[in-house]
Chains A and B, each alone.
Chain A
Amino acid sequence: MFLFYTLFVSAASDPIIHVDHLVRQFGKLTAVNDVSFSVQRGEIFAFLGPNGAGKTTTIKMLTTLLHPSSGTMQLDGHDPVHDQAGARRSFGIVFQDPSSDDELTAWENLEFHGVLYGVDKATRRKRIDEMLKFVELDDRRDDLVKQFSGGMKRRLEIARGLLHHPKIFFLDEPTIGLDPQTRNHIWDYIKKLNKEEGITVFFTTHYMEEADRVADRVAIIDHGQIIAQGTPASLKQETNAQSLEDAFLTLTGKAIRPEEVSATDHMRTMSRMWGRRS
């Protein structure tokens, strides 16, 4: 029945993201193991899974940061491997970790982005004003980003990711470590965008109630493979669960996943020692 649903949807409509038999190996480890899925134009799609399941690796391949070991992908008709520039222009992204330049102001970060994406000056300046208002950072435009809180940096990154009018918006755990108010705020922006600009949203999160509330469709990945996809309601129904969180735990088990300490974490500790803010 589940298979039928997938076939039916992909036959009937117009996928903007298409992933086919995607594989990525790191030495002996297969981080992404034969993953296939589609996201429809205008959809809000949640990509869920425990730590180390392959979410971020998949996003990195879709966004041209990593080459796949095998398999094919399409982003709005562009192949992220062979048509990098085309693929890159089609999406905006908010990364899991902060990625703005702390030594530049909010405005300068946006200006930098706009120039890199080849947005002409008049359009760029207008759009920067518009986006700063949209994420309510208008009054902080000339402040250095290092003075911003985690939530403000996130909002700035959302503004930046949208600056060049992308058709697809990737958000890798956009609400991690933020208070409920800010999280709520961020989802409001994203839903508004999806509704008003028809932008396709692809996000990952560990907060299942967010996925349940926001996503049209959900895919669950574990050990590098997609183990379920469908609407939040259909997943709950399949697993006889009350909430998406229960459905998720039924599908992926309750064992705690090992998490690697990355070089970034070491660096953050070091930089705190030296008084730099991360």
Chain B
Amino acid sequence: MLNTLYILWLRQLKRYGRSRARIVGSLGQPLLFLFALGFGMGPIYERAGGGNYLQFLAPGIISMSILFTAIFSGIEIIWDRQFGFLKEMLVAPISRWNIMLGRTLGGATVAVLQGGIVFLIALIAGFRPENWAMVPVAIIFMFLISLLFTALGTAIASKLQDMQGFQLIMNFVVMPLFFLSGALFPLDTAPPTLLFIAKLDPLSYGIDGLRAALLGQSHFGIFIDGGILVVLTILFLALGSYLFSKIEL
């Protein structure tokens, strides 16, 4: 079991390492958000009494790049299906759960690495964590977000035959998850309706936890964030592996 998990994990990492274009390409969007919003909106945010906007924004943008990479890693199963490699995995004498878990761990690791790169870029832009000793906690939150959304991507991809629905997923799943999560605005001052929606968005707890670890400020509290994320991650892993186990080729 451990060997097979390892090789499935390693495959995801090798594929990631070899697609330089994808690494660079997927940094474009977080960079834009960080610079255009961070520096553009910063003065207004500060004048409104919110403090340093770049500080506030960076954990949200790190989470955004994790969200995109993780969902995409899960959805890559459609490529595996179309290019035949999924069959090679499915006829191997290991359980579907094992395949799903190995792939998801690999995809989640890739997403954490991608988040790490954005973290470094944020540091260059002027972002500073309040307490460096809490960075390992931040990494745990990053990993939980990654696992959760890779599992969600896997669940979605298990129900799709081809990439036709990809645009639909981007616009109706990924974008709402990001924009409604409190990545860009503080939940403390959000109108009740928006706050209610944000509470339904799993990413809200990831970002809030990340802010708690990196900035020492949080809306829900770090333990609630962590607890909800762990429960949701287990739930999504179960859902993903259930739907994955139902795939017939």
Those of A35-90 within 8 Å (CB) of chain B = 60, 63-67, 84-86, 88-89
Q: Is B18 an interface residue (CB 8 A)?
A: yes
Q: Tell me the total A-B contact number using a CB cutoff of 8 A.
A: 85
Q: Is A1 an interface residue (CB 8 A)?
A: no
Q: Is B26 an interface residue (CB 8 A)?
A: no
Q: Is B3 an interface residue (CB 8 A)?
A: yes
Those of B63-80 within 8 Å (CB) of chain A = none
Q: Please, which residues of chain B bring their CB within 8 A of the CB of A111?
A: 7
**Contact between B82 and A99, CB atoms less than 8 A apart:** no
A88–B92 Cα gap in the complex (Å)?
A: 6
Q: A97-B84, A102-B83, A263-B162 are in contact. Are A67 and B11 (CB under 8 A)?
A: no
Instruction: Give the size range of B's interface with the partner.
Output: 20 to 34
**Contact between B84 and A112, CB atoms less than 8 A apart:** no
A86–B94 Cα gap in the complex (Å)?
A: 10
**Contact between B162 and A95, CB atoms less than 8 A apart:** no
A264–B82 Cα gap in the complex (Å)?
A: 5
**Contact between B14 and A103, CB atoms less than 8 A apart:** yes
CB distance from B227 to the nearest CB of A (A): 35
Q: Is B49 an interface residue (CB 8 A)?
A: no
CB distance from A116 to the nearest CB of B (A): 4
A278–B83 Cα gap in the complex (Å)?
A: 7
Q: Is B163 an interface residue (CB 8 A)?
A: yes
Q: Please, which residues of chain A bring their CB within 8 A of the CB of B82?
A: 263-264, 267-268, 271
Q: Is A113 an interface residue (CB 8 A)?
A: yes
Q: Is A30 an interface residue (CB 8 A)?
A: no
**Contact between B163 and A270, CB atoms less than 8 A apart:** yes
**Contact between B11 and A101, CB atoms less than 8 A apart:** yes
A166–B244 Cα gap in the complex (Å)?
A: 26
Q: Is A266 an interface residue (CB 8 A)?
A: yes
Give the contacting residue for B248; candidates A67, A113, A271; CB below 8 A.
A67
Q: A118-B3, A264-B82 are in contact. Are A99 and B92 (CB under 8 A)?
A: no
Give the contacting residue for B88; candidates A84, A99, A266; CB below 8 A.
A99
**Contact between B4 and A116, CB atoms less than 8 A apart:** yes
**Contact between A112 and B7, CB atoms less than 8 A apart:** yes
Q: Please, which residues of chain B bring their CB within 8 A of the CB of A266?
A: 162, 164
Residues of B within 8 A of A (CB): 3-4, 6-7, 11, 14-15, 18-19, 82-85, 87-94, 161-164, 248-249
Residues of A within 8 A of B (CB): 60, 63-67, 84-86, 88-89, 91, 93, 95, 97-104, 108, 111-113, 115-118, 144, 160, 263-264, 266-268, 270-271, 278
Cβ contacts A to B, 15 pairs, < 8 Å: A63-B91, A65-B87, A93-B91, A95-B87, A99-B83, A99-B84, A101-B83, A103-B19, A104-B11, A115-B4, A115-B6, A115-B7, A116-B7, A116-B92, A267-B162
* 5 smallest beta-carbon distances between A and B, as pairs: A99-B84, A116-B92, A88-B93, A115-B7, A267-B82
